[in-house]
Structure 1
Amino acid sequence: MNIQISKWLLLAIISSSVFLSVMDIFIVNVAIPHIKTGIHGTDSDIQLVIALYLLGYATFLVTGGRAGDYYGKKRVFAAAMLLFVVTSAACGFAQTPWQLNAARFFQGVSAAWMIPQGITYIQELFRGGRERVKALGIYGSVAGSASVIGQFLGGLLPETNGFLEGWRLIFLINLPIGLLVLPMALMFLPPDQRRKGAGFDHSGVLLLTGALVSIIYPLIRGRELNWPLWCIAMLITGGVLLALFVTDQKQKQLRGRLPLLDVRLFGFRDFNIGMAVVLFYFMVQDSYFLINVMLLETGLGFSSAETGMLFVFQGVGYVIASLVSLRLVPLFGKKVLQAGVLIMIITLALHIAVLNGPDVDRQLLYPILFAYGTGCGSVLPSLLAVGLKNIPIELAGAASGTFSTFQQTAIALGIGVIGGIFFSSLGPLPDVAAYISAYRMATVTNIGLLGLVGFFLWLLPGDEPLRSPADAACPIQSSN
């Protein structure tokens, strides 16, 4: 059944996918201590709650786009939305860490299959340049709003007393939204023709998934288990699988087959530098939330609602700065990003200075987090432009898919590495002083990573203006 409705209403249906996908990253961040208590999990269990969602998203994002070509965007969008609802329910009713983390991985996979269909629909529904920019702007604003709403709800819902434990609501809240959108998508989204020429790189997906899981999982689990031999073996296996993946992709490229990642991209120096920027920046992004939530709520006794409000201020700073930076980047190029990195470094130093004991000046934290958000907002919206600056237009789609895969993988890696530094510094029976010391060590590491971001930005040639990210048809980024 296909009923004709306004394309702006179709945009609302499409945008629900990015709203749910981004919200589920940020709503979990604030609720981590409640989730850990609710499932009787360990430190590594809660790291995996974040990391496995991102790994599922990262490894299946490109494949999700190909699925839309092969099976049809409408079918894939609806199927992925249904899977997202089912896996959200599985997360909400999980009884053990294993159940929750398995569901989180497949929740990330379903998000990876939803997002590319929405991006493609926007390209097809909004043909005019100005209209398309407006539609992409609305889509991006929905993602930004989802990050702020997620942080607010992640603080509020775990403290709700009712029939279910409050932390479960952060997953179950997806159900009414998904069940409302699903029939609307089936009724209103226009049908499309399947393109038989589009295929899947099944072996590439398996190799990349195996490599990333074999690297990230032992990085998170190994510390807690005192690095048993199987953890070392997994790390070695991950390195071997990654090498095989690169070889496999090169061979497919030479044979004229469609690889998961277009290895020609890595022949461009600026793209490689841009990917280094992406790696070190996104290692900081979610690890920042993890270590701050653990210090504030578990170490210093903040309520999750208060922590959520602090991150809302950070999110508001991000949104304001992102709107300003997108106007400044065409004029001043990479200098805007360099200024943003400097702001982030300074405000992280202020985090360390202020979060120095149980008697924290809580009111002072609000402007500090707001300022940190402005630094993020000055950097993140234009990172894609950095990576695609000198990429030929025929490779822009492949480059944006590679960018998003790299982005989500870097976040998961940051959770493993920075989270590992934080938790290994706590000791078996941590007190407030131990939390503050562990936080300082992890935050200093993040400052060092941001220093590397600044260094690689400096390596990029010239200060000429960068191309606007709106010029590239790319999967939306998580927003602060």
Structure 2
Amino acid sequence: MATTAPTAPQQSTPSPIHRWWLLAVLALAQLMVILDGTIVNIALPDAQIDLGMTDGDRTWVVTIYALAFGSLLLLGGRIADYWGRKRSFIVGMVGFAIASALGGLALNTEMLLAARALQGAFAGLLAPASLAILTITFPGGKDRIKAFAVYGAIGGGGAAVGLLLGGVLTEFASWEWCLLVNVPIAIVAIVGALAFMKESRAHGNTRYDIPGTLLVVAGLASLVLGFSRAEEGWARFDTIGFLVAGVVLLAAFVLVERRVSNPLLPMRVIVDKVRGGAFLVSTLTGAALLGGLLFLTFYFQIVLGYSPLHAGFASLPMTLVIMVCATVLSQLLPKIGVRIPMTVGPIIAAGGLFYLSFITVEGNYVLEVLPGVVLLGIGLASLFVPLQNVALAGVEEHDAGVASAAVAATQQIGGSIGTALFTALYTSAIASYLADNPPAPTAQLEAFVSGYSAAFVCAAALMLVAAPISFFLIRPSKADLLKNVDAVHMG
């Protein structure tokens, strides 16, 4: 039965000083969740040797985190709405720290994969609570634009920061510290949450949508499994079966959500043209970014022979470019709106990924990699700074958590599907190269480069699709960026 709680009396939002301290706590949580999608990338070669992982297991260390994260985000968003966003934030942070410790102490591949899945599950509770708290802490005005610019820049730059931090920890400590480092970060964030965060929750109908949860988790998992099986052949029965099952289950999820009184993902959240366009762009960006960076990392270490630290620093220019561009864009958005940067950004990012497809075995970093990384950073900043603000504009307070979850879910599911898809293309390109070329001393490395290039071209194509979506669908007025959202019930 649905429970109906009386409307809680409204309370003021945190004081201006406390709001910015709270933003720092939320930004720290966002950084931890995002960088964990890539921080293990650089550590993977070392972890693979220590734990005796296969190449398939190596990919699953990345994919299973994104899959668990993305498929449970909608449920996590509803739990945050109904159970309390502060409470969900703290429980998610504690669980994430415990899972990270288990991963850092992993004795075998199975233990590491289980820990990564557990990390993703708790991130699915933590991330929507964090973004919902940000939404209600900065309900409107120019401060909202600045806050979302910071949050968005971390969303774009956090992946690259993960590569750098992973390189430092792997080089000077061990690959295990790429997971253990989350424990002290979580402790700081929990202390900050207790000091600056107020509880908030939705009121009214707070019954959970169990059928919708089961359908969306099973549907998304089937899609990712289907793309991962494509590595061994697109015409395989299990590949086709998982992909078809995923589409059918997600279609059933949409039908259920349109009929139940308490949907996990209310259709009102996604049918808005601007918001729906933002979700599509987020999915494509997640696929291109997370999948593309994984293969760039492999290129640095496997082909060019970079140390983990050197590989991390090789990714640093993208982070710096994102931070600089985010600062500039946060000042320009109230004047130029979001349509221009969100249309031009994907084109620039696609150009950077396409440029990276021309890498060679010799690997001149300054000529073959740096321009592509810089272009990718400019394009991603143009997208991430306005994206989350646009996706959450006009969302009712009752749906703040689930709408926040939908934003993060699209990026994470896009990333897991992109990683699986690019891995299949990468494997196919290697096999084709070795079949078409005579044996040679550098044949294996040339085959790897051929695979990486195929992945970058595919990522560029996905990124390019986001440009017309932004141009035709994302058209909020400048006034919308400054408009206050509905009053927030604090309890």
1:214 aligned partner, one-letter code: S
Aligned residue pairs total 459
CA contact 2:156–2:384 (8 Å) conserved in 1: no
For 1:451 and 1:248, locate their aligned partners in 2 and report how far apart those are by CA, in whole Å.
32
Residue 439 (structure 1) shift = 1.8
Matches within 5 A, 1:322-361: 322-329=326-333, 330-331=335-336, 333-353=338-358, 355-358=359-362, 360-361=363-364
Structure 2 residue aligned with 1:363: 366
Residue 198 (structure 1) shift = 2.2
Structure 1 residue aligned with 2:472: 459
For 1:154 and 1:138, locate their aligned partners in 2 and report how far apart those are by CA, in whole Å.
22
For 2:476 and 2:134, locate their aligned partners in 1 and report how far apart those are by CA, in whole Å.
32
Structure 1 pair 127–219 and aligned structure 2 pair: CA distance change class (3 A)? closer
* Alignment partner of 1:445 out of 437, 453, 458: 458
1:375-414 superposed Cα distances (whole Å, 9 cap, x missing partner): 221223233466568x776898465543332222111111
Structure 1 residue aligned with 2:106: 94
For 1:341 and 1:461, locate their aligned partners in 2 and report how far apart those are by CA, in whole Å.
13
SS at match of 1:206: helix
Q: Which is further off, 281-290 or 325-334? A: 325-334
Q: Which is further off, 341-350 or 404-413? A: 341-350
Structure 2 residue aligned with 1:478: none
CA contact 2:152–2:384 (8 Å) conserved in 1: no
1:405 aligned partner, one-letter code: A
CA contact 2:128–2:405 (8 Å) conserved in 1: no
Residue 140 (structure 1) shift = 4.9
For 1:68 and 1:246, locate their aligned partners in 2 and report how far apart those are by CA, in whole Å.
22
Q: Which is further off, 455-464 or 95-104? A: 455-464
CA contact 2:72–2:121 (8 Å) conserved in 1: yes
For 1:371 and 1:210, locate their aligned partners in 2 and report how far apart those are by CA, in whole Å.
37
For 1:467 and 1:434, locate their aligned partners in 2 and report how far apart those are by CA, in whole Å.
50
Structure 1 pair 224–36 and aligned structure 2 pair: CA distance change class (3 A)? farther
Structure 1 pair 378–75 and aligned structure 2 pair: CA distance change class (3 A)? closer
Structure 1 residue aligned with 2:219: 211
2:251 aligned with 1:247: no
For 1:396 and 1:123, locate their aligned partners in 2 and report how far apart those are by CA, in whole Å.
11
Matches within 5 A, 1:15-414: 15-122=27-134, 129=141, 136=148, 139-140=151-152, 146-160=158-172, 166-182=174-190, 185=193, 189-190=197-198, 195=203, 197-224=205-232, 229-252=237-260, 257-265=261-269, 267-329=271-333, 330-331=335-336, 333-353=338-358, 355-358=359-362, 360-364=363-367, 365-384=369-388, 397=400, 399-414=403-418
1:350 aligned partner, one-letter code: Y
1:362 aligned partner, one-letter code: Y
Residue 193 (structure 1) shift = 7.5
Q: Which is further off, 301-310 or 428-437? A: 428-437
**Matched-pair identity in %:** 26
Q: Which is further off, 90-99 or 10-19? A: 10-19
1:282-324 superposed Cα distances (whole Å, 9 cap, x missing partner): 2211111011112221123222222211211111111222222
For 1:346 and 1:110, locate their aligned partners in 2 and report how far apart those are by CA, in whole Å.
35
CA contact 2:231–2:425 (8 Å) conserved in 1: no
For 2:202 and 2:384, locate their aligned partners in 1 and report how far apart those are by CA, in whole Å.
35
SS at match of 1:431: helix
Question: Structure 2: 5+ residue runs without aligned partners?
Answer: 1-13, 435-442, 487-491
For 1:21 and 1:403, locate their aligned partners in 2 and report how far apart those are by CA, in whole Å.
14
1:304 aligned partner, one-letter code: P
For 2:254 and 2:149, locate their aligned partners in 1 and report how far apart those are by CA, in whole Å.
35
- By relative contact order (CA 8 Å, sep 6+), the higher-ranking structure is 2
Residue 170 (structure 1) shift = 0.1
1:169 aligned partner, one-letter code: W
Question: Structure 1: 5+ residue runs without aligned partners?
Answer: 474-480
For 1:176 and 1:126, locate their aligned partners in 2 and report how far apart those are by CA, in whole Å.
27
Residue 262 (structure 1) shift = 1.6
1:238-281 superposed Cα distances (whole Å, 9 cap, x missing partner): 233222211211111xxxx2211122455444544444433333
Residue 107 (structure 1) shift = 0.7
Q: Which is further off, 196-205 or 410-419? A: 196-205
SS at match of 1:302: coil
1:149 aligned partner, one-letter code: V
For 1:463 and 1:73, locate their aligned partners in 2 and report how far apart those are by CA, in whole Å.
28
CA contact 1:334–1:465 (8 Å) conserved in 2: no
Residue 225 (structure 1) shift = 8.2
Q: Cα RMSD over matched residues?
A: 3.5
Q: TM-score, normalised by structure 1?
A: 0.82
Structure 1 pair 331–395 and aligned structure 2 pair: CA distance change class (3 A)? farther
1:442-474 superposed Cα distances (whole Å, 9 cap, x missing partner): 22222222332223334348797594499779x
CA contact 2:149–2:326 (8 Å) conserved in 1: no
SS at match of 1:25: coil
